[in-house]
Structure formats: structure tokens, C-alpha cells
Structure 1
Amino acid sequence: MTTDLETLQKAAGATFESEDGDRPVPDSFGNDGEAIAAARNGVALCDRRHWGRLQLSGDDKLRFLHNQSTNDFQRLQPGRGCETVFVTSTARTIDLVSAYVTETAVLLLVSPNRRQKMLQWLDRYIFPADKVELSDLTETTGMFSLIGPEADRLLKQWDIAAPQTDGSHAIVAIDGTEVRLCRGSGVGLPGYTLICEGDRSASLWQSLTEAGAVPMGDRAWERLRVEQGRPASDRELTDDYNPLEAGLWQTISFDKGCYIGQETIARLNTYKGVKQQLWGVRLDRRVEPETPVTVGEDKVGKLTSCTVGDTGAFGLAYIRTKAGGEGLSVRVGEAQGEIVAVPFLTRGYPTQTSGDAAE
């Protein structure tokens, strides 16, 4: 499966400069600018087979996930899904996960560098009395993102009535390949996530690119991720931050009852105790992540990601709430910057747009 898919991708100009474990994906097709433009104005196709695909089955699967993560699983029916965050007992982030409920199981899409940790974390909390079975489908399935406003038009070539509600999903057929088509591209732009049997990955890739989808490498995906503001594990999602600080309010249910980390999250929300928040930052030059963000002589935050696009450098940074938010002028190393809002992130209560640096 992998060889056939990689052969097709290399024929289209793919280079495999970076690897993630034993599941390398194209770093670039030599068309990063074209792929970004397609994702924003047309339709692009990105190989995400290196992301983890875990499955929970058994009668207690929804109750189990309801108690283990931030979103409300008890309300979900087959064909629906949500984004949720797994956190520690002190509400520190482990991973941002997309979950899809089927008739018999729940499929979890986890970050590439969190697959083993999530397997171990979930297994740790499955007790003998629980009717829950955990399995790893990563090696036997393929996964792609179809990104852009023209995704629906492309899918209509196969008479597909695509899911239109965020998180919804359905089984469809594309040139004879059975695909789970999930609403949402993964980067906050219009589109879909497609999951198929591994031995059908090459056929699905070929069908979609022949229909007009522009191949996108992981380097362009990373640029989109930063520009859209999707936080990533080991960057914005670490033991240093909680989901409220990370701008993931849309993944949290505040009235569903107890779950791991719930007390801390509820207290932060009730007492407006979010001391730092994730923002976009427009920069006049590229800066290395981990560089401090300052206002005058005061350190007010830290850069976590940075990319360079057609309009210049852009990053993500945690900024102290008391220092301000959108519109704040900052310095990041040798670069001048301005704090800006990004589409992927949400906030639960108003934040300052200017002010003095936090003490």
C-alpha cells in the first residue's frame, strides 16, 4: 500500500525530507505556493497517514470517553463527531483529538507524535469491569485531508451528498473505494477528512488528484496550521498550557459533569483565571520558536510556532492576558510584531486589546 502510494506521489514531484516514525509523508511536491492557494480558493489534497487512528468499541465506549476528555460524548449519535481535548488531572493538555461516532465504535484521530502516548493513556483507564476495547488502526488505514471551498464541487463528480454539519460523517464510495467522509479539513478551512482501508489509499489519492485536487505536502500543511491558528502538540499543546489558554473553548462542555481535569477547568472559567492566551502574531521577519515576546522591558509571552508565507512571517504565541490581545504591538527577539486573531481559536470571555504588561 505505502509503496504504491509513494510511487504515485513521487511521480507527482513529492520529496520525503522529513519522516514521522515508519510512516513518512511527502514534505513537499515543489508547489507549496500553489497548494496553499488551492486550499484557500480551490481544493488541495494532503496525505495525513502519519496521524494516529485509534478505535474504541464496546457498550461503555461513549461513557468512557465522556469521563476522559473535555467534550460531551453522551449527546453524540452515530454519524456525528466532535473535537475534544485529553488533559491531565491538573488540566494540562495531552492532545487535541477529533472523534467520530459510528454504529459500533468511536474513531479517534490523534496527533502523529501523540499516538503511543494516547494508546497508553487510554489503556491506563480501562478497568476490567469496563466494556471497552481499544485498538490501533493506524497501520491498516489511510487518511487524507481535502481542503478548500471547491471540495464539495469535486465530490459531486461521484454524486456524493457530503455531510454538511461540522463533525458529521458518512460512508461514501469514490471510484469503488469505500471512504469515511468526515466534515472538517483539520485546519479550520472548508473541507473534509477521508479515511479508507490502507490498501485503497493509492487508488483514492489517484482518483482525487485526477479529479482536480492539488497535492499538498506536510510543509504547506504546517504553514496553513500556523496561519489558521491550530495548536499542535509539542508546540502549543504541552504540559505548560491548558485548553482554555490554548483557545480551545469550543471543545469543552462546562455542564456535563466530572471528567479528568474538570475541576481545574471549571475553576479557571468561573473565576476568569486564564492568565495567558494563544494568539497569532504578524512579524516583520522569521523568528525561532521559544523566543520571548516582550512589550518594552517586560516579558509578556513566548513564541511557539513560526512560518513564512507570501505576506511575510507569521507565528503563534502565548501572551499574558493582562498584557493585552489583538492589536498589541510586541517585540519577538529582533522582530517587530502585532498580535492578531486567528480563525481556529475561540475564547470564552472578552479579553483586553491593549494594556500594561502583566507583573
Structure 2
Amino acid sequence: MSQALQEMQCSAGATFDPAQVQVPASFGNDAAALQAARQGVALVDLSHWGLLKISDEDRLRFLHNQSTNDFQKLKPGQGCDTVFVTSTARTIDLVTAYVTKEAVLLLVSPNRRQQLLEWLDRYIFPMDRVELADISNDSAIFSLIGPESDTLLTKLGVQLPIGDVYASHQHLNLNDIEVRIARGSGFALPGYTLIVPASNAANLWQTLTTANATPMGDRVWQQLRIEQGRPLPDYELTEDYNPLEAGLWNTISFDKGCYIGQETIARLNTYKGVKQQLWGVRLPVSVEPGTVITVDGEKVGKLTSCTPTEQGYIGLAYIRTKAGGVGLQVQVGEIEGDVVDVPFLTHEYYGSQ
């Protein structure tokens, strides 16, 4: 994080978690920030996430062979979500890719940045024309979340729409600040992702907050991501689970050729072999992630995340497919809960991606 941006956030009331000194935990406005994400527009600093740059002539073919989605069909200005998996289709990270004329930018989870860089480097062979670069420290990443995001950008002179589909993006000038703006908030909520040089981060933050974007800290972002059902590495995305179990069907192309983990994913889809699925769980009290979930005394899953909401608590949990889905009553440790749907996840294949 740039010093100027951190000072600006501190002056706006930001407090920081000692374990994550570069991540604003709260701006002292958690209820207002949550309401803004649902009814107005909230602004989140995601600059602690990683940004990798993949360039040279073979970049699309290379990424096509390394992850679950179809890169060969993407043109500059387009993008997609994709999952990097092991050879046995266990998840490494859920990544958003933005294709430009010269490169592909990968927005990766903060605790997967180095691992993914090393993973990709391992699969570059001498004849491959691929260059990898970690540009995280040179960039700042903001997210606009909420139904008024379009109104705010229009007020700032941005011509909408940015593009026709999710992850469409444009590099443009906003109040003399060069910024790449992409459709998608990272949730099943309207919004945009903004990528800006770190040197201009404070100026862009001030521009957006002056235009009435409500700053949101990581505490509320984490609540939203659990309510929405976005899986996160070390919680829902681990080597214990594959992307189909994680509800990330819309990040997978079943029509493309071979890639790492493809055989396992294809077999699971063809033979309906998904043994567990990620769902939301409504709870009356907080329960520790990792708690075993049972039905009639039989273990059927495990809680992976939990957060307070205005209507009690909600968690994310892997539930054995044969046990059921939405409406299933479960025992989470000693606490009774109900399995619910969450908007970010899908649990079946809807056709060509």
C-alpha cells in the first residue's frame, strides 16, 4: 500500500488489523458500508491482493493449458474467472483474468500470489514464449460494490457500458488518472474492479470517495463474501476440494482441450461424481470453522467459514451430496442449522462457457 493512500484512509477513520497492517479492517462505519453495498455504492481497497502479468506471444495458449476456463476465445478487453488446480483437480486459487493487447493480468488471492507465480513458472518450457511478472507492488486494486456503481462512474465522466459481459474492461482516463475499469465486483452484486498504478492510488481513492462511494473495511467485505458464497483460499479453496465441489462450475469450460486437472474434472462431470458441495448454512450463534456437520448422528460435512449478520449467523460448509442441499436441517457441532443457497455459487453445468 502507498503511504499516501494509507494516510488518507487513516484520516477517514480506518483501523488496521495488526496481523494485516496494510488492510483497512474497518472505517468505523460497518453498518453504513454494508447498506451501501446493497443499496448504494461501497469502495473496498483490495491492494493486498496479487496482480500477475503474463505476456509474450504464447500467453493465451499457456493460460488455456494451465487453468479451467477457455482463454483461446478471449479478445483484448475481455476477461473471465478461472481456477488453477493441481493434476488431481484440487483447487489452488480462483482468479480473475483480464486480457489486454499486450498481456493478461491475473487478479489473485493475497495468500496465493507467490505460490501461483512459482506454479506457473514451473510449466514454462524452453520453447514457450511466455513472460511472468509480479506487478502487485506497482499497482493498487479497488472494488466498487453496489447498484449505484454505474451512477457514480457516469458522474465521473466514464462512458458506460464498459463492456457487454462480466470481466469486460477498458483502460481510460478518470479525472486525469489512468485506470483500468472492469465489470464485476467479485460478488454476485453489481460493481466494478479498478486497477491503477500505486502512485495514483491515493488520488483515485479521494476521487471515488468525494463522489460519495462509502469506504468499506475488510471486516464487512469478509461478511459479504460469506453471505454471497465466494470461496476463499485456506477456507473453501484447499487441496481437499475441487472446483465442482466448490460451486465454481461457471469458471470451467467443458468444451476446451486438455489442461492440468482436466481428466479428473471431466470424469466427475460425466459420471456425476461430485461427492460434496459448498452451501450456505444459517445458524443462530457463531460456530468455529472446522466444526463437523452431522445429520442423524452421521457426519455429512464441515463448516469452513462463519460470520454474523443482521439475522443471526451464516456460514459456508461442504455438505455430502447424498445428504441433500437447500432446506436440509443439520447439526453443526451442538448447534442446529439450515442449509441455504448463496448467490455466488452454481451447482450444475449450464452449457458452454
With the shorter chain as reference, the TM-score category is: over 0.9
| 2:218 aligned with 1:209 | no
Letter in 2 for 1:236: E
Q: Which runs of 4+ in 1 moved over 3 A?
A: none
Alignment-derived partner of residue 116 in structure 1: 114
Alignment-derived partner of residue 35 in structure 2: 37
CA displacement at 1:187 relative to structure 2: 1.9
| 2:233 aligned with 1:219 | no
Equivalent positions of 1:261-272 (< 5 A) are 261-272=261-272
Letter in 1 for 2:257: G
| Whole-angstrom CA distance in 2 between matches of 1:114 and 1:232 | 10
Residues 65, 130 of structure 1: alpha-carbon distance in 2 compared, 3 angstrom cutoff: same
What CA deviation, in whole Å up to 9, does each residue of 1:322-355 have, x standing for no partner? 00000001111122110001000011169xxxxx
Alignment-derived partner of residue 187 in structure 1: 187
Task: Please state whether the residue corresponding to 2:17 is helix, strand or coil.
Answer: coil
| 2:294 aligned with 1:294 | yes
What CA deviation, in whole Å up to 9, does each residue of 1:224-251 have, x standing for no partner? 0000000000000000000000000000
Alignment-derived partner of residue 5 in structure 1: 5
| Whole-angstrom CA distance in 2 between matches of 1:41 and 1:272 | 39
| Whole-angstrom CA distance in 1 between matches of 2:19 and 2:46 | 12
CA displacement at 1:311 relative to structure 2: 1.3
Q: Is the 8 A contact 1:19 1:25 kept in 2?
A: no
| Whole-angstrom CA distance in 2 between matches of 1:116 and 1:209 | 32
Letter in 2 for 1:185: S
Letter in 2 for 1:214: T
CA displacement at 1:127 relative to structure 2: 1.2
| Whole-angstrom CA distance in 2 between matches of 1:188 and 1:105 | 27
Task: Please state whether the residue corresponding to 2:106 is helix, strand or coil.
Answer: strand
What CA deviation, in whole Å up to 9, does each residue of 1:285-341 have, x standing for no partner? 110000011112111100000000111100000000000000001111122110001
Letter in 1 for 2:345: L
| 2:257 aligned with 1:260 | no
Task: Please state whether the residue corresponding to 1:25 is helix, strand or coil.
Answer: strand
When the two chains are superposed, the root-mean-square deviation of aligned CA atoms in Å is 1.1
Relative to the length of structure 2, the TM-score reads: 0.97
Letter in 2 for 1:318: Y
| Whole-angstrom CA distance in 2 between matches of 1:83 and 1:260 | 16
CA displacement at 1:158 relative to structure 2: 2.2
Q: Is the 8 A contact 2:157 2:174 kept in 1?
A: no
Letter in 1 for 2:239: D
Task: Please state whether the residue corresponding to 1:78 is helix, strand or coil.
Answer: coil
Q: Is the 8 A contact 2:249 2:349 kept in 1?
A: no
Q: Is the 8 A contact 1:83 1:98 kept in 2?
A: yes
Alignment-derived partner of residue 84 in structure 2: 86
CA displacement at 1:175 relative to structure 2: 1.3
Alignment-derived partner of residue 326 in structure 2: 326
User: What runs of 5+ residues in structure 2 fail to find an aligned partner?
Assistant: none
| Whole-angstrom CA distance in 1 between matches of 2:292 and 2:184 | 33
Q: Is the 8 A contact 1:18 1:27 kept in 2?
A: no
Task: Please state whether the residue corresponding to 2:24 is helix, strand or coil.
Answer: coil
Equivalent positions of 1:346-357 (< 5 A) are 346-348=346-348
Alignment-derived partner of residue 230 in structure 2: 230
The match for 2:145 among 105, 122, 147 is: 147
| Whole-angstrom CA distance in 2 between matches of 1:150 and 1:334 | 41
| Whole-angstrom CA distance in 2 between matches of 1:349 and 1:234 | 25
The match for 2:46 among 42, 48, 72 is: 48
The match for 1:105 among 103, 116, 122 is: 103
| 2:15 aligned with 1:25 | no
Q: Is the 8 A contact 2:250 2:349 kept in 1?
A: no
Q: Is the 8 A contact 1:280 1:317 kept in 2?
A: yes
Letter in 1 for 2:56: G
| Whole-angstrom CA distance in 1 between matches of 2:299 and 2:155 | 53
CA displacement at 1:198 relative to structure 2: 0.5
CA displacement at 1:18 relative to structure 2: 4.3
Relative to the length of structure 1, the TM-score reads: 0.95
